[in-house]
Amino acid sequence: MPDKREQRRLRLTFRGETFRADGKVPVSVLASKLQALQVLVYHAAATVNHHHAPRRGPWQNRYRESTELSFIAAHHSDLAIEVELPADTYLVKEVDIAPEAVDLLFNIGKALQSGPQAVQDLDLPRDDRNYLLRALENLLPNAQDDYQIELENCVPSRHPKLTLAPESRQAVRSLLQAEPMLSADVVTLTGDLVKIHVGVGPEKIAIRHRGVEIDCFYGEALRDQVANLMGGSLVEVSGWATLDNDGRVTRMDDVLELETVSTDPIRMTHFEHAGTRYSLRKPVVVTVEYADGLWVYHNETLNLWGYGARREDALEDVHVNFAYLWSEFAEERDSALDEKALELKKALLELRVPETAA
């Protein structure tokens, strides 16, 4: 029989070529994902405890004694962090909700990996399901991240391991956007956060998008995310919007998705286009900028650029342009290239892992 404490232990493992290259996981990534896991556990605890009151203010305090995670151990290669839920505490309503919360956490993760219908089939009230999905979304890597996270119960027979990859984030968004609302297209805006209203009416944030301040009204399920925002940060907001006669957004009436976006450089371990994968000996650092409604990705050494109105489009453009550089320079005859182009060819050839490499 497994130790009861092992049943309460979770292991969060970060895997990816980006981290393997130098063995380093940024502290900001580690901290944000551990916090996301804790919030997800709190929402799972509230759900199994049939918490029907609005989850506003310090509502998590009700569940700290029974489900606050504690650090246990760390293992290094791929970074693995072990945390543990409390045992033998004064329990909420004298019921041990921690194991049931863990069961729910893994059940919704497993359902997400099985497909949207499996999530819909879970016997959960809509509001509870949405709370859990939004909390789970914050645990998932972003679309441009070159890593994945594995979540395990330290008693493997109790729950299969969950693999949390960037692709799952889009699945979560699709589920949340499938809620019955107004028949209109979802609009996505990026801008500087200039106002935050939490706990006072109207509940909204305001962003400055292309020089114009736009009010964005959010619902109860997004309260936790809004409360954790920092004024002045760059945010991406998606939802149903009111447009003027010229098609410009005047206000966002119902926010569906909200996240802080980073302009930190990204480390790319491979490029892929038209069925060809270009695996690299070491990561290429690509700077990220957002200006005048356009995302710009750039690596100066390779003169590599990517542009797009969305981050996904700019990142895809980077992959396309790397393939272009490879075909036009790395595969070109030396005699057809000038001195500068030969330097670029040399840099490209030194960068890519040979096709025959294991």
Question: Along the 358 residues of the chain, how does pLDDT read in single tens digits?
Answer: 455 666 789 999 998 876 665 567 888 888 889 999 999 999 999 999 988 777 776 788 889 999 999 999 988 767 899 999 987 654 444 568 888 999 999 999 999 988 888 888 898 988 898 889 988 988 998 877 888 999 999 876 678 899 998 888 878 877 876 654 433 467 889 999 999 998 777 899 999 998 899 999 998 878 878 888 889 999 999 888 999 888 889 999 999 888 888 888 888 889 999 999 999 988 899 999 998 889 999 999 999 999 998 888 999 999 999 999 999 999 999 999 999 999 999 999 999 987 643 3
Based on the fold, state whether residues 63 and 140 are members of the same structural domain.
Answer: yes
Q: What's the confidence (pLDDT) of residue 4?
A: 61
Q: What's the per-residue H, E or C state across the chain? A: CCCHHHHCEEEEEEECHHHHHHCCCCHHHHHHHHHHHHHHHHHHHHHHCCCCCCCCCCCCHHHHHHHCCEEEEEECCCCEEEEECCCCCCCHHHCCCHHHHHHHHHHHHHHHHHCHHHHHCCCCCHHHHHHHHHHHHHHCCCCCCCCEEEEEECCCCCCCCEEECHHHHHHHHHHHHCCCCCCCCCEEEEEEEEEECCCCCCCEEEEEECCEEEEEECCHHHHHHHHCCCCCCEEEEEEEEEECCCCCEEEEEEEEEEEECCCCCEEEEEEEECCEEEEEEEEEEEEEEEECCEEEEEECCCCEEEEECCHHHHHHHHHHHHHHHHHHHHCCCHHHCCHHHHHHHHHHHHHECCCCCC
Judge contact between 266 and 146, C-beta under 8 A.
Answer: yes
Based on the fold, state whether residues 106 and 35 are members of the same structural domain.
Answer: yes
Based on the fold, state whether residues 54 and 170 are members of the same structural domain.
Answer: yes
Q: What's the confidence (pLDDT) of residue 260?
A: 87
Based on the fold, state whether residues 16 and 151 are members of the same structural domain.
Answer: yes
Q: Determine, yes or no, domain membership for 100.
A: yes
Whether residue 202 has a cis bond before it, omega within 30° of 0: yes
Q: What's the confidence (pLDDT) of residue 42?
A: 94
Q: What's the confidence (pLDDT) of residue 78?
A: 75
Based on the fold, state whether residues 128 and 236 are members of the same structural domain.
Answer: no
Host domain of residue 217: 187-260
Q: What's the confidence (pLDDT) of residue 219?
A: 86
| Residue 163 backbone class (left: φ over 0; alpha: ψ -120 to 50; beta: rest) | beta
Q: Which of 183, 214, 205, 184 is nearest to 293 (CA)?
A: 214
Domain final residue, candidates 122, 148, 177: 177
Domain final residue, candidates 260, 276, 304: 260
Q: What's the confidence (pLDDT) of residue 103?
A: 92
Determine the residue type at 122: L
Q: What's the confidence (pLDDT) of residue 130?
A: 86
Q: Determine, yes or no, domain membership for 356.
A: no
Q: Determine, yes or no, domain membership for 358.
A: no
Q: Determine, yes or no, domain membership for 357.
A: no
Give, in degrees to the nearest 5, the angle at Cα 29 between 25 and 33: 120
Based on the fold, state whether residues 29 and 145 are members of the same structural domain.
Answer: yes
Based on the fold, state whether residues 21 and 142 are members of the same structural domain.
Answer: yes
CA distance linking residue 218 with residue 197, whole number of Å = 10
Q: What's the confidence (pLDDT) of residue 272?
A: 93
Q: What's the confidence (pLDDT) of residue 20?
A: 61
Based on the fold, state whether residues 247 and 273 are members of the same structural domain.
Answer: no
Domain final residue, candidates 159, 177, 195: 177
Based on the fold, state whether residues 122 and 229 are members of the same structural domain.
Answer: no
Based on the fold, state whether residues 74 and 196 are members of the same structural domain.
Answer: no
Based on the fold, state whether residues 158 and 24 are members of the same structural domain.
Answer: yes
Q: Which residues does residue 287 pair with via DSSP β-bridges, in sequence order? A: 298
Q: What's the confidence (pLDDT) of residue 3?
A: 55
Give, in degrees to the nearest 5, the angle at Cα 269 between 266 and 313: 55
Long-range (24+ apart) CB contacts under 8 A made by 346-351 are 347/301, 347/302, 348/302, 350/281, 351/280, 351/281, 351/282, 351/284
Q: Determine, yes or no, domain membership for 51.
A: yes
Based on the fold, state whether residues 339 and 237 are members of the same structural domain.
Answer: no
Q: What pTM value is reported for the model?
A: 0.68
Q: Determine, yes or no, domain membership for 182.
A: no
Q: What's the confidence (pLDDT) of residue 90?
A: 46
